[in-house]
């Protein structure tokens, strides 16, 4: 199972994760979305933690659904640690043409949840994701899973994030509540909008009682 420290306080309330799962299900049914990317504004906002908590939730409440988790954060990959996996062959190796997706995708301790790590060549690929190749990989696996969850680097610090977001069906923007300045969040959202990325929702991470009014306008 995923390491317990990944279940951090901001998502200890199952209702919060349940609301996220319902949003994903709605997008899947209404907009035929299957590939969901998750990105932060500038890093350290808990994107990977949200994905692992979502996987925990799906494994217990939607066990019949097939999900694939992809670590596309070549800048700071951590999902393999959270899921107790080695880097091995992964996304970077597929993009380089040295591995096929069927050889790189591995099982996890969660039933019906598979994992594609960033791969052994991720440092060589960081900042150099090609839109056509990334889109081809996601298109190949799209129909094989109910949900494809992609961990991306921060949109304001890596061009790779936009490459993933453009190829995904919907993107969730993670904002650290009471810590991310309004202008930073506005810039991140504008960057996604300008590149015609469909924003599936904005997630307020590490949320407390008081939330600045401008954050509500992003929801």
Q: At 63, which CATH number? A: 3.40.50.300
pLDDT at 205 over 50: yes
Kindly state the average pLDDT of the residues 103-121: 91
Is 63 among the domain residues? yes
Average pLDDT over every residue of 79-95:
90
Query: What is the spatial distance between Cα 209 and Cα 118, in angstroms, rounded to a whole number?
Result: 36
Quick check: is 2 in a domain? no
Cα pseudo-dihedral 61, 67, 72, 76, rounded to 10: 30
Specify the higher pLDDT residue, 192 or 1.
Answer: 192
**Distance, CA of 199 to CA of 176 (rounded, Å):** 17
Could you tell me the pLDDT band of residue 38, with boundaries at 50, 70 and 90? very high
Give the CA count within 13 Å in the CB-facing half-sphere of 184. Answer: 18
pLDDT of residue 210: 45
Which pLDDT does position 146 carry in this prediction?
92
What SS3 state is found at 22? Answer: helix
Confidence check: pLDDT of 208 > 70: no
What's this model's pTM, rounded to 2 decimal places? 0.86
Q: How confident is the model at residue 88 (pLDDT cuts 50, 70, 90)?
A: confident
Q: pLDDT of 154-195, one tens digit each?
A: 999 988 999 999 999 999 999 887 677 889 989 999 999 999
pLDDT at 97 over 80: yes
Which helix (H) or strand (E) segment holds residue 214: the answer is helix 213-216
Among residues 112, 116, 91, 2, which one has the least CA distance to residue 52? 2
Residue 139 included in any domain: yes
Domain count, the chain: 1
Within-domain flag for 107: yes
Distance of alpha carbon 185 from its chain centroid, rounded?
Answer: 18
Question: Residue 169 falls within a domain, yes or no?
Answer: yes
28 in any annotated domain: no
Residue 169 has a pLDDT of 95
> Does residue 62 form part of some domain?
yes
pLDDT grade, residue 204 (50/70/90)? confident
Q: Which of 168, 143, 164 is nearest to 154 (CA)?
A: 164
HSE value, Cβ hemisphere, 13 Å, CA-based, for 107: 4
The pLDDT value recorded for residue 123 is: 81
What length is written for the chain?
219
| Per-residue pLDDT reduced to its tens digit, 50-86 | 999 899 888 888 878 899 999 999 988 999 998 989 8
How open is the CA angle 124-128-134, to the nearest 5 degrees? 110
With beta carbons less than 8 A apart as the criterion, state whether 119 and 104 touch: yes
Q: What is the mean pLDDT of the chain?
A: 84
Domain extent at residue 64: 33-216
82 in a structural domain: yes
Average pLDDT over residues 90-109: 89
Residues of the chain above pLDDT 70, percent: 86
């Amino acid at each position: 199972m995923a390491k317990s420290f990944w279940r951090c306080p901001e998502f200890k309330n199952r209702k919060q994760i349940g609301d996220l799962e319902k949003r994903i299900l709605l997008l899947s049914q209404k907009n035929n979305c299957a590939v969901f990317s998750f990105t932060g504004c500038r890093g350290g906002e808990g994107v990977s933690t949200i994905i692992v908590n979502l996987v925990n939730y799906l494994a217990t409440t939607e066990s019949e659904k097939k999900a694939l988790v992809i670590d596309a954060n070549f800048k700071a990959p951590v999902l393999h640690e959270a899921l107790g996996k080695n880097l091995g062959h992964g996304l970077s190796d597929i993009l380089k043409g040295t591995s096929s997706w069927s050889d790189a995708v591995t099982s996890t301790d969660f039933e019906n949840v598979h994992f594609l790590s960033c791969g052994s060549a991720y440092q060589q690929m960081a900042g150099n994701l090609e839109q056509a190749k990334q889109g081809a990989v996601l298109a190949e696996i799209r129909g094989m899973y109910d949900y494809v969850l992609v961990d991306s680097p921060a949109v304001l610090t890596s061009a790779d994030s936009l490459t993933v977001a453009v190829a995904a069906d919907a993107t969730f923007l993670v904002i650290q509540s009471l810590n991310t300045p309004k202008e930073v969040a506005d810039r991140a959202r504008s960057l996604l909008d300008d590149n015609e990325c469909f924003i599936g929702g904005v997630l307020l991470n590490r949320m407390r009682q008081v939330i600045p009014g401008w954050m509500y306008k992003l929801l």
